[in-house]
Amino acid sequence: NAGVMQNPRHLVRRRGQEARLRCSPMKGHSHVYWYRQLPEEGLKFMVYLQKENIIDESGMPKERFSAEFPKEGPSILRIQQVVRGDSAAYFCASSPSTSGLQSGELFFGEGSRLTVL
Amino acid sequence: QQQVKQSPQSLIVQKGGISIINCAYENTAFDYFPWYQQFPGKGPALLIAIRPDVSEKKEGRFTISFNKSAKQFSLHIMDSQPGDSATYFCAAPRRSSASKIIFGSGTRLSIRP
């Protein structure tokens, strides 16, 4: 499967625990985006990363949330001390170089659904 | 953050009818207007897109109409089928080196048999 791979697909955490969501972009894609989707709502941009660099994190909460895209391995979205309001579907998307930004085409994974009890 | 406003929030159409979803944008820095389709439990996927120098683009039963002066674009689904039932998002990417793609709030489309 050469698509965007996200794991886990479903994650349950208790309040105060940490959640780690992983995303492997499509082969050849060096740009990764994370979006959050609340139930019955649209996709909210969180962060845009290239390998080893955070390009735009303007949509990510300043506290408890962090993202990385290391030279080797998947991109990781980390949520510390989760609260019930963090329950959502988190989607990762990738694009090759800057073409995705200009053409509007992002390739999405199937999402990671976080439930905070 | 630039806004992309989408309507309606939900839509029910009879099989064979025309589904119309509208979007309005505020910022002229957008230069490409895609529509994404999302089925339950899946990630969004690009359906069709248009550049602003074109007023209409058609791919099969799907057509985008673009009105640059009104800053609006719409998706028309002709001969709507039950398999078209999904959530549709309009989007707009910004023309800058550190840009991101802004999505509308989504339209949940249901096609009745």
Q: How confident is the model at residue B87 (pLDDT cuts 50, 70, 90)?
A: very high
Q: One digit per residue, pLDDT tens: chain A, 117 residues?
A: 579 999 999 999 999 999 999 999 998 888 999 999 987 778 998 999 998 899 889 899 999 999 999 999 999 999 999 999 999 999 999 987 655 555 657 899 999 999 999
Minimal CA separation from B89 to chain A, in Å: 8
B92 vs A: CB within 8 A: yes
The pLDDT value recorded for residue A102 is 57
- B28 versus B72: which is more confidently predicted? B72
* Residues in a beta bridge with B111: B13
Distance from CA of B74 to the nearest CA of A (A): 16
Cα–Cα distance measured from residue B36 to residue B47, given in angstroms and rounded to the nearest whole number: 5
Give the integer Cα–Cα distance in Å for A12 and A32: 24
Pick B33's closest partner by Cβ from A4, A104, A109: A104
The answer to whether residues A59 and A44 touch, using CB atoms and an 8 Å cutoff, is yes
Task: List the one residue out of B108, B106, B99 whose CA is nearest residue A48.
Answer: B99
pLDDT given at position B28:
65
Residue B97 — very low, low, confident or very high, per pLDDT cuts 50/70/90?
Answer: very low
How close B18 gets to chain A, by Cα (Å)? 23
Q: Report how far residue B91's alpha carbon sits from residue A115's, in angstroms, rounded to the nearest whole number.
A: 27
Cβ–Cβ of A55/B44 closer than 8 Å? no
A–B interface: beta-carbon pairs under 8 A: 73
- Per DSSP, helices labelled H in A6-105 are 99-103
What are the structure tokens assigned to A49, written together? 């990363």
- The pLDDT value given to residue A39: 77
Least confident span in A16-30, B12-26, B64-78, B92-106:
B92-106
The pLDDT score that the predictor gives to residue A98 is: 59
Residue-wise pLDDT tens digits, B18-50: 999 999 988 766 678 889 999 998 999 999 988
Q: Is B104 on the interface with A (CB under 8 A)?
A: yes
**Contacts of B14-18 spanning 24+ positions with Cβ under 8 A:** B14/B80, B14/B111, B14/B112, B15/B80, B15/B81, B15/B82, B15/B111, B15/B112, B15/B113, B16/B79, B16/B80, B17/B80, B17/B111, B18/B76, B18/B77, B18/B78, B18/B79, B18/B80
